[in-house]
């Protein structure tokens, strides 16, 4: 891990006014501040936003992208007071920092969705020369109207509190506090009395309402250009789609470079040691792994502690290292306050880590992610944390299991809603969701319905997928069972994807594990396929605790579900700490030497996501 240098071919993490961000350096005198969308949209577009920043820098413009206060890796919480003013203050601070560090003479603001509304509101005070609005909301009311509709229409667990209530609006694991709602309600760009910038480019979706903004800004003297944002739906739909090239971004790059003076030499500065301090915690960004291509945030207790395992937090599906609903950030800072260090990292091709040679970005369940996770263990070890507990949700759970099998430094394991237990060449998040099959009991009652049989007979796509998944699941169980019988007779011959054998190997090594499922989650079908209904024999393993969380969705977006999991993780860490203390005092044998790791088949297989 070497200090970052701000050069034209590598962005570097930065901190300013409590905000975390990335500086993409270039030699031009026109710089760009990217103002991201809100909540789930920010997660879905993170990788595309990163690529957009790189393209702008390659065109000669220094770029700063950042997390608003109380979001991402920045300081603060979403429920803190005066969030709207804090977000606008973040944009002002970002522009000032870009001018100071990159030496730019002009600043352009580029905002997407809510970020466009914020950029337009901050542009005049920032002194922006150019303003780009991508699918902008014309007012805070318009944003709130759409956010409320999306939150109410989203599928929620039974007995979950309403998404819209006195505590604010909950959407995709993020909460907009009542005070922020009221502040946004008063924000209306159509009421502006001065043009936000000299030049304005507006790219809007077909059903958008930005035409009123164009008319207003022209009336105020701005030179306004309009164009369709045909890529909007594809960009906002999913992480995988967002990883693809976006022609709208190319349109913005061309517009911003109009009349721009030729770039000079890239201003190279040594990045200082970055530390973001909180009550009881200190965070710093790390670049590590082959070619320093992997990225993570190390969160450590403010007071030095020794002898306690750290926690390795892996990506949830293709979501960046901050986690769905900022779950990984909250977990990390909570653990630090309890004296436990953690590293939340991006595996290759995800979040802010480099792309993998020969592989598309945004893929999950990739076998080479095990080596990325082991590089994370190396980074923890270099920081003085030799043992770790691997934590993963969804696809991250599969990586956590395999790194535990491969590396003896993993002394504990926490898996949440694992969609598959095997790794391969990788699949998209959409493909993983599309192949998911619930436990067989969920389908049996419907076999008495004539409509179901008609769907099966006419080879309905969904019915065929379910039937194929159930038949493949039965075949796999027979194969795994035959392997166990063979091993019982000969001492070897277990199927290479035998989950029971894998957990037995971990138990024999002394690894304590936690497996958590949301009540009724589709991933229980994969557990049934591997171990039988309800987990079968896995429940009788002494080193493994299995739990269900009622009222929880797959990604633990509900606050109560996240708190329940955090409590279960606390219990696991206490058990591991007690076991380590007992081993030091000679009260127990402790983990045996050697890895004890089972080589599980990393073929993609046909298991549900």
Q: Mind listing the pLDDT tens digit for each residue in 76-89?
A: 999 999 999 999 99
What's the pLDDT at 535? Answer: 85
Angle among Cα 157, 158, 164 to the nearest 5 degrees reads: 70
What's the pLDDT at 526? Answer: 86
The overall average pLDDT reported for the chain is: 85
Tokens of 156: 């929620």
- Provide the 3-class DSSP secondary structure of residue 90: helix
Tokens of 473: 């699941």
End-to-end CA distance of the chain: 34
- Which pLDDT tens digit goes with each residue over 582-597? 444 444 444 333 333 3
Rounded to whole angstroms, the Cα distance separating 7 from 427 reads 33
Rounded to whole angstroms, the Cα distance separating 452 from 467 reads 11
Helix 178-185 and helix 140-153: axis angle, to 10°? 140
Confidence of residue 599 (pLDDT cuts 50, 70, 90): very low
Are 56 and 32 in contact by the 8 Å Cβ rule? The answer is yes
> 503-517 burial, b if ≥16 CB within 10 A, otherwise e?
bbbbbebbbbbbbbb
Q: Would you kindly state where each structural domain of the chain is located, as residue ranges?
A: 12-141+181-256, 286-437+495-584
Common-topology check for domains 12-141+181-256 and 286-437+495-584: yes
- What's the CATH number of domain 12-141+181-256, 1.10.40.30, 1.20.1430.10, 3.40.50.1820, 3.40.50.150? 3.40.50.1820
- Which pLDDT tens digit goes with each residue over 287-324? 999 999 999 999 999 987 777 999 999 999 999 999 99
Are 331 and 362 in contact by the 8 Å Cβ rule? The answer is no
Tokens of 521: 């989650």
What's the pLDDT at 476? Answer: 59
- Using the 8-state DSSP alphabet, how is residue 380 labeled? H
What's the pLDDT at 3? Answer: 34
What's the pLDDT at 486? Answer: 56
Q: Residues for the chain: how many in total?
A: 609
- Which pLDDT tens digit goes with each residue over 377-410? 999 999 999 999 999 999 999 999 999 999 999 9
What's the pLDDT at 588? Answer: 44
Domain 286-437+495-584: which topology? Rossmann fold (3.40.50)
Rounded to whole angstroms, the Cα distance separating 415 from 433 reads 18
Average pLDDT, integer, range 192-197: 97
Average pLDDT, integer, range 550-568: 95
């Amino acid at each position: 891990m070497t200090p970052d240098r701000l050069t034209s071919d590598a962005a570097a993490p930065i901190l300013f006014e409590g905000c975390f961000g990335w500086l993409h350096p270039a030699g031009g005198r026109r710089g760009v501040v990217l103002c991201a969308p809100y909540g789930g949209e920010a997660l879905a577009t993170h990788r595309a936003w990163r690529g957009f920043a790189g393209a702008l820098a390659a065109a000669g413009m220094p770029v700063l992208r950042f997390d608003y206060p109380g979001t991402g890796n920045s300081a603060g919480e979403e429920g803190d007071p005066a969030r709207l003013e804090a977000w606008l203050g973040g944009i002002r601070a970002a522009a000032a920092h870009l001018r100071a560090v990159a030496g730019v003479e002009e600043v352009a603001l580029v905002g997407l969705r809510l970020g466009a509304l914020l950029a337009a509101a901050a542009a005049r005070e920032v002194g922006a020369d150019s303003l780009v609005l991508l699918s902008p909301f014309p007012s805070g009311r318009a944003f709130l109207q759409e956010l409320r509709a999306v939150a109410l229409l989203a599928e929620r667990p039974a007995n979950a509190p309403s998404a819209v209530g006195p505590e604010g609006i909950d959407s995709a694991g993020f909460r907009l506090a009542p005070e922020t709602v009221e502040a946004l309600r008063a924000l209306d760009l159509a009421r502006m009395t001065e043009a936000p910038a000299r030049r304005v480019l507006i790219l809007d979706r077909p059903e958008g309402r930005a035409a009123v903004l164009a008319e207003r800004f022209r009336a105020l003297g701005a030179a306004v250009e309009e164009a369709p944002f045909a890529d909007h739906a594809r960009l906002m739909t999913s992480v995988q789609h967002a990883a693809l090239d976006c022609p709208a971004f190319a349109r913005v790059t061309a517009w911003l470079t109009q009349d721009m003076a030729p770039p000079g030499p890239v201003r190279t500065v040594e990045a200082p040691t970055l530390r973001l301090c909180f009550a009881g915690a200190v965070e710093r960004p790390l670049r590590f792994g082959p070619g320093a291509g992997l990225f993570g945030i190390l969160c450590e207790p403010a007071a030095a502690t020794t002898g306690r395992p750290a926690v390795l937090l892996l990506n949830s599906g293709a979501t960046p290292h901050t986690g769905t609903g900022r779950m990984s950030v909250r977990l990390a800072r909570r653990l630090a306050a309890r004296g436990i260090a953690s590293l939340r990292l991006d595996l290759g091709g995800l979040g802010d880590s480099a792309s993998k040679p020969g592989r598309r970005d945004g893929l999950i369940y990739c076998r080479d992610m095990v080596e990325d996770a082991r590089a994370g263990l190396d980074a923890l070890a270099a920081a003085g944390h030799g043992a770790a507990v691997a934590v993963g949700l969804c696809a991250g759970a599969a990586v956590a299991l395999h790194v535990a099998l491969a590396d003896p430094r993993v002394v504990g394991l926490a898996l949440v809603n694992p969609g598959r237990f095997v790794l391969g060449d990788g699949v998209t998040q959409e493909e993983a969701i599309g192949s998911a099959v619930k436990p067989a009991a969920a389908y049996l009652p419907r076999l008495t319905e004539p409509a179901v049989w008609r769907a099966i007979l006419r080879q309905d796509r969904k019915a065929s997928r379910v039937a194929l998944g159930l038949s493949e699941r039965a075949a796999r169980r027979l194969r795994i069972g035959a392997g166990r019988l063979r091993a019982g007779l000969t001492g070897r011959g277990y199927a290479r994807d035998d989950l029971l054998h894998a957990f037995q190997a971990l138990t024999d090594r002394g690894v304590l594990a936690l497996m958590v499922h949301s009540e009724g989650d589709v991933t229980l079908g994969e557990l049934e396929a591997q171990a039988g209904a309800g987990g079968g024999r896995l429940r009788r393993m002494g080193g493994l605790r299995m739990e269900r969380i009622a009222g929880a969705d797959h990604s633990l977006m509900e606050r109560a579900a996240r708190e329940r999991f955090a409590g279960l993780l606390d219990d696991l860490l206490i058990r591991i700490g007690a076991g380590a203390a007992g081993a030091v005092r000679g009260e127990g044998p402790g983990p045996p030497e050697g890895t004890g790791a089972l080589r599980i088949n990393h073929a993609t297989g046909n298991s549900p996501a």
